[in-house]
Structure 1
Amino acid sequence: MMNLAPKAKEIRESGFAVVDNVFTNEQVENILAAINRVDSTKETFKKSEDLFAIRQFLKEIPETTDLIFNYKLKNIINEVFGEDYFLVKSIYFDKPETSNWFVSYHQDLTVSVDQKIEVAGFGPYTKKHNQFAVQAPLHILDNNFTIRIHLDDTNELNGALKVIPNSHSKGIYRPEKIDWSIEKEVSCNVMRGGIMMMKPLLLHSSNRTSNHQKRRVIHLEFSNQILPKELNWSEHLDLFTTVDSIKDT
Structure 2
Amino acid sequence: MNIDGLKFTLEEQGSAILDSVYTTLELQQIVACIKEASQNDDNLPKTKDLFAIRQLLNTIPQLKKFLFNQKLLSILSNIYSTPYFLTKAIYFDKPSTSNWFVPYHQDLSISVNQKTDSSDYTHWTYKRGQYGVQPPLSILENTTTVRIHLDDTNAHNGALRVIPTSHLKGVIRVDKREWNIQEEYICNVKKGGVMFMKPLTLHASNRTTNNKQRRVIHLEFCNQMLVSPLEWLEYQKI
State the TM-score, normalized to the length of structure 1.
0.91
Instruction: Give, in angstroms, the shift of residue 237 of structure 1.
Output: 1.4
Indicate how the Cα distance of structure 1 residues 206 and 182 shifts in structure 2: closer, same or farther if over 3 A, else same.
Answer: closer
Deviation at 1:14, TM superposition (A): 0.4
1:97 touches 1:214 (CA, 8 Å); kept in 2?
yes
Count of residue pairs the alignment pairs up = 236
AA aligned to 1:125 is W
The amino acid that maps onto 2:50 is L
State the Cα distance separating 1:82 from its structure 2 match.
3.3
Is contact 1:88–1:222 with CA below 8 Å preserved after alignment?
A: yes
Question: 5 Å matches for 1:8-157?
Answer: 8-38=7-37, 39-42=40-43, 45-157=44-156
Farther-moved stretch of structure 1 (67-76 vs 181-190): 181-190
Task: Find the counterpart in structure 1 of residue 226 from structure 2.
Answer: 227
Q: Is the 8 A contact 1:56 1:90 kept in 2?
A: yes
Amino acid paired to 1:61: I
Per the alignment, do residues 111 and 179 of structure 1 end up closer, same or farther by CA in structure 2, a change over 3 Å counting?
closer
- Moved beyond 3 Å, runs of 4+: 179-183
8 A Cα contact 1:163 1:185, kept in partner: yes
- 1:245 is aligned to none
Contact 2:163 2:181 in 1 (8 A): no
Q: Which amino acid aligns with 2:70?
A: Y
Corresponding residue for residue 163 of structure 2: 164
Is contact 1:8-1:81 (8 Å) kept? Answer: no
Higher helix share: 2
Cα RMSD (Å) of the superposition?
1.4
Q: Is the 8 A contact 2:57 2:89 kept in 1?
A: yes
Q: Is the 8 A contact 1:158 1:207 kept in 2?
A: yes
Q: In the aligned structure 1, how far is the partner of 2:172 from the partner of 2:146? A: 21
CA shift, 1:83, in A, is: 4.8
Separation in 1, partners of 2:92, 2:127? 16
Q: Distance in 2 between matches of 1:206 and 1:229?
A: 36
| Cα deviation, residue 183, structure 1 | 5.0
State the SS of the aligned residue for 1:33.
helix
Q: TM-score, normalised by structure 2?
A: 0.95
Distance in 2 between the 1:174 and 1:48 partners? 32
Shift of 1:41: 2.2
In the aligned structure 2, how far is the partner of 1:155 from the partner of 1:183? 18
Q: Is the 8 A contact 2:125 2:131 kept in 1?
A: yes
**CA apart distance, 1:177:** 2.4
Structure-2 separation of matches of 1:112 and 1:136: 10
Q: Is the 8 A contact 2:98 2:207 kept in 1?
A: yes
Identity of aligned residues (%): 50
Q: Do 1:18 and 1:195's aligned partners in 2 also have CA atoms closer than 8 Å?
A: yes
For structure 1, which runs of at least 5 residues remain unmatched after alignment?
240-249
1:94-122 per-residue CA deviation (whole Å, 9 max, x = no partner) reads 00000012111000001010112222210
Residue 176 of structure 1 deviates from its aligned partner by: 2.3
Q: Residues 106 and 174 of structure 1 are in contact (CA less than 8 Å); yes or no, is this contact kept in structure 2?
A: no
Inter-partner Cα distance in structure 2 for 1:72 and 1:206: 27
